[in-house]
Every structure is written in C-alpha cells, then in structure tokens.
Amino acid sequence: MRLLGKKIVEKPWGKNVLPPQFDVPAGKRVGEVWFEPPPELPDILVKYIFTSEKLSVQVHPSDEQAKALGESDRGKEECWLVIDAEPGATLGIGFKEAVDSGTIRRAALDGTIEDLMQWFPVKPGDFFYIPAGTVHAIGAGVSLVEIQQNSDITYRLYDYGRPRELHLERGLQVAKGVAHRSNLRQSIETSESVQLTDGPFFSVAVVAGQAVDDGPLHLDRSTLVIPVGLDVTIDDCRVGQGQGALAGKGEELRIAKAAGACLLVQHVAPPVSSVVSAPPR
Ligand SMILES: [Zn+2]
C-alpha cells in the first residue's frame, strides 16, 4: 500500500478551521484537500471539500461533449458524500421544474438561477451522484467527500457577483434544464455498509466501522482507501483520518470497529472509446 500525496487548496469560499487531522497552517482559508491520483487509478480524483460560503453554480460536460467542444481534457461526472453539515446547509442540484436554455441564460445573468434550482437540506450520510450536464452548486457550511472523473473542466454559470470568469456559452451547451433524478441520491445510516455507485467511471462503496467483522477484507483490485472518522490498516500499515491510500490487489484491509466509515473507490472498466484525446489547435 502507499499513502496518497495530498494537496491543500486555498479557496475564497473555504474554511479557516478544518478538523484537526488535516493539520492545515493557521490563517489559511482551505476549500479543498485533494488526494493525488496514483498511476494505478489516474482517472479518479478524490477530494474533501469544506465550505463557508456558496460555491459557484456550475456544470460539467460529458466525455463526448468535452471532445465535441474541443476541450483537451475529459468530461466530469462526480458524486458527493456529506460528512458534516451546519444547520440549514444545502446543496443545489438540478432545477425545481423543467426550464429551457433561454430561461437558464436569463437566470444566470440576473442571478435568479438560484431560485430556479432545487436546494436539498443535507446531513452526514447524504449521497448524491451528479451526472454530466447537471447544474449544481455546493452551499455554505458543508463538508463532503467528492469522487470525480479526474478532469479540469468546469463551466461556471453564475458566481454571486464574485470576480471569477464565467463560461456561460459553453455551460448552456451542456446544461440540462431538468430536476435531479431521485434514484441518484440516498441517505445512508452511519452503521450501514453500502455500494454508493457502480460505474461507469468509478465505483464507490462505504463500509461502516460499526458493521465490520473482526476479519480483514481482501481487496481484489487496486482500491483507493479513504477512512472517514476512524483508522484502518492495510497489510498492517496504518492509514489515519484525513489520509488516503492506494491498496493493491491481494492486500488486507482492516477497519477499526468504531463510529465512522471507510470509503473504497475502485475503477470500473472504462469506456475506452470515449477517453478524450487532445484535438489539434
Ligand atoms: Zn462540479
């Protein structure tokens, strides 16, 4: 097993105080902690996200759309597991009612897009899958783990007047004016082990510490191991809270019998034909 490198990313919407296991330097406003994707699983990026303000309203293209738009990176699907939420914290995902592209455009320009979107109150254990084309915004006061296709392409539709670049034209080409499908979200109990999503870009399972037996789990392929709120060992090497590791095929994972959970992220056979190659410019 190998511990994954971590990248601490400052963001204007981040938090000054993170849980102690992240040992962030004082005075920094940290929005994201990234685990560097290992060569065995280069297409999957896992991050913690911590917010004290709303993130921009944004959308990502699919692999096919990214290619058609001449992007040099792949598209992005992502999913979120909420690990902490302040009272009243919400996530904006999809629209309350079907809207057309002209309506999205006008609402992005005058800021009323917030009112058209559906905002879900959240608590720890809430899980959302965000397909490409879904208009979304992470609200304030949320800590979550995001698992995503390792891609840089974000089209910002609206940013609450903050001075960052918007990408309205491209965003409108991929934004779907629809509601988030209810089968793409679930709330898990902290004592429950479940498969959160299974492809096509990544497979994510959460194993609850309270639900594990004494024996180890035998991993059958390269797996990203992200303990949340407890410690684990892989072949007797400890992986602590705030860390992430790559476990190899055949290695033994032991999860502490404790409150908290361990996320297991694996690859699912990728649709190779859709992997984006850089077009000539
Ligand atoms: Zn996003």
pLDDT in tens, 126-146: 999 999 999 999 999 999 999
Contact indicator for 17, 33 with CB cutoff of 8 Å: no
Residue 251 has a pLDDT of 95
With a CB cutoff of 8 Å and minimum separation 6, the contacts of 254 are 216, 217, 232, 233, 234
Residue found under tokens 């254990």: 125
Residue 281 has a pLDDT of 36
Contact indicator for 143, 242 with CB cutoff of 8 Å: no
Residue 44 has a pLDDT of 97
Residue 16 has a pLDDT of 86
Q: DSSP for 244-257? A: -EEE-TT-EEEE-S
Separation of CA 280 and ligand 1 centre (Å): 27
Residue 280 has a pLDDT of 37
Helix, strand, coil in percent for the chain, rounding step 5: 15, 40, 45
Residue 211 has a pLDDT of 87
Residue 281 catalytic? no
pLDDT in tens, 241-280: 999 999 999 999 999 999 999 999 998 754 443 333 333 3
User: Which of 187, 207, 232 is the last residue before a domain boundary?
Assistant: 187
The secondary element (H helix, E strand) that includes residue 174 is helix 168-174
113 and 172 inside one domain: yes
Distance CA 40, CA 197 (A): 20
Distance CA 142, CA 151 (A): 22
Separation of CA 59 and ligand 1 centre (Å): 6
Separation of CA 162 and ligand 1 centre (Å): 17
Residue 39 in any domain: the answer is no
Residue 279 has a pLDDT of 37
Phi/psi of residue 191, each to 5°? -100, 10
With a CB cutoff of 8 Å and minimum separation 6, the contacts of 200 are 268, 270, 271
Separation of CA 158 and ligand 1 centre (Å): 13
User: Would the pLDDT of 21 be above 90?
Assistant: no
Listed range (4-18, 65-79, 96-110) with the worst mean pLDDT: 4-18
Give the total residue count for the chain. 281
Distance CA 129, CA 197 (A): 8
Residue 255 in any domain: the answer is yes
The number of distinct structural domains making up the chain is 2
Residue found under tokens 């035998």: 218
62 and 154 inside one domain: yes
Residue-number span of the structural domain to which 244 is assigned: 194-266
59 and 181 inside one domain: yes
Separation of CA 154 and ligand 1 centre (Å): 7
Listed range (70-74, 80-84, 187-191, 202-206) with the worst mean pLDDT: 187-191
User: Would the pLDDT of 73 be above 70?
Assistant: yes
Percent residues over pLDDT 70 in the chain: 95
User: Which of 187, 202, 229 is the last residue before a domain boundary?
Assistant: 187
Mean pLDDT of 55-64: 97
Separation of CA 58 and ligand 1 centre (Å): 6
Q: Which of 29, 105, 106, 156 is catalytic?
A: 156
Say what the pTM is: 0.92
Distance CA 127, CA 91 (A): 11
Mean pLDDT of 180-189: 96
Strand partners, 204: 197, 265
CATH value at residue 208? 2.60.120.10
Separation of CA 148 and ligand 1 centre (Å): 9
Say which DSSP state 5 is in.
Answer: P
Percent residues over pLDDT 90 in the chain: 80
113 and 63 inside one domain: yes
Number of Cβ within a 10 Å radius of residue 277 = 7
137 and 232 inside one domain: no
Mean pLDDT of 213-221: 86
Separation of CA 52 and ligand 1 centre (Å): 17
Separation of CA 260 and ligand 1 centre (Å): 26
Residue found under tokens 């097993």: 1
Q: How many helices (H) and strands (E) does the chain have?
A: 4, 22
Separation of CA 25 and ligand 1 centre (Å): 26
